[in-house]
């Protein structure tokens, strides 16, 4: 994304970027014009391109930045994943929820606006998503190999778990009855139950692994 040099120009570009993030999340990429973004910040439409490229460039930048920040944060959090897959899975679940809470607009755009990316931009974002998913997939594969997790199709399980965890941003608000710590505890428990060898055994026996017995 093209940006004017100098601190004021960089600050204006970042303000425009944040405005675009909010507008894309509120109205959808297709419904937002560059004129709307300029008006949100109080910049003349004709001057907008002094700070950024096209609307497509802006969408790509927002989505790539979101994934790069996510990958960097995970790498910093777990440069050497725990050799115990169960411990590593707990850490991944807690990290993912904690990182995404408070980034609702970025998360919404990252998932809902993929369809509006041009092919090259889609490929760039898809590659970053794949790199992040691989961290969880390896944990599940290691756990299955050691017999401590049940994930016969690790890629499918990876996407299912990430979708479930990311969905927290659709409804969680810090002002509710549950704290972020509470949500991490609940989702960690649900995730571990979903891929536990015990659940596998219950299913194979025709039982409901979520049922309770007197």
Range 57-77 average pLDDT = 95
pLDDT attached to residue 199: 62
Predicted model pTM:
0.84
Token readout for 46 is: 């004709």
Domains and their CATH numbers in the chain: 1-53 (1.10.10.60), 54-204 (1.10.357.10)
> Residue range 28-39: average pLDDT?
94
* pLDDT of residue 176 exceeding 90: no
Closest listed residue to residue 42, CA positions, set 10, 59, 19, 8: 19
For 69-89, b where at least 16 C-beta lie within 10 A, e where not — what string? ebeeebeeeeeebeeebbebb
Spatial distance between the Cα atoms of 100 and 25, rounded to a whole number of angstroms: 15
Confidence (pLDDT) at 121 = 97
The band of 75, judged by pLDDT with boundaries at 50, 70 and 90, is: very high
Note the pLDDT of residue 77: 85
In degrees and rounded to multiples of 5, residue 163 shows phi and psi of -60, -45
Q: Measured at the alpha carbon of residue 144, what is the angle toward residues 138 and 147, in degrees to the nearest 5?
A: 140
Average pLDDT over residues 32-36: 93
Residue with the larger pLDDT of the pair 79 and 205 = 79
Q: Which is more confident, 45 or 118?
A: 118
Q: What angle do CA 75, 101, 7 make, to 5 degrees?
A: 70
User: Any idea which of 27-31, 87-91, 118-122, 199-203 has the lowest mean pLDDT?
Assistant: 199-203
140-156 pLDDT tens trace: 999 999 999 999 999 99
- Per the prediction, the chain carries an average pLDDT of 88
* Spatial distance between the Cα atoms of 89 and 185, rounded to a whole number of angstroms: 13
pLDDT for 87-134, tens place per residue? 999 999 999 999 999 999 999 999 899 999 999 999 999 999 999 999
């Amino acid at each position: 994304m093209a940006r004017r040099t100098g601190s004021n120009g960089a600050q204006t570009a970042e303000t425009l970027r944040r405005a675009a993030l909010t507008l894309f999340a509120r109205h959808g990429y297709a419904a937002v014009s560059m004129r709307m973004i300029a008006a949100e910040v109080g910049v003349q439409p004709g001057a907008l391109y002094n700070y950024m490229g096209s609307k497509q460039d802006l969408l790509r930048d927002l989505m790539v930045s979101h994934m790069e920040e996510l990958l960097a944060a995970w790498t910093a959090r777990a440069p050497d994943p725990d050799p115990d897959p169960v411990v590593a899975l707990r850490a991944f679940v807690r990290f993912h929820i904690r990182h995404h809470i408070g980034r609702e607009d970025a998360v919404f755009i990252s998932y809902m606006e993929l369809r509006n990316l041009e092919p090259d931009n889609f490929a760039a974002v898809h590659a970053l998503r794949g790199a992040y998913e691989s961290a969880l997939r390896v944990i599940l594969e290691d756990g299955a190999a050691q017999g401590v997790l049940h994930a016969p199709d690790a890629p499918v399980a990876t996407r299912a778990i990430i979708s479930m965890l990311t969905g927290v941003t659709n409804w969680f608000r810090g002002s509710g009855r549950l704290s972020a710590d509470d949500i991490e505890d609940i989702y960690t428990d649900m995730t571990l139950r979903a891929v536990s060898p015990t659940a596998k055994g219950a299913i194979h026996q025709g039982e409901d692994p979520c049922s309770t017995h007197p």
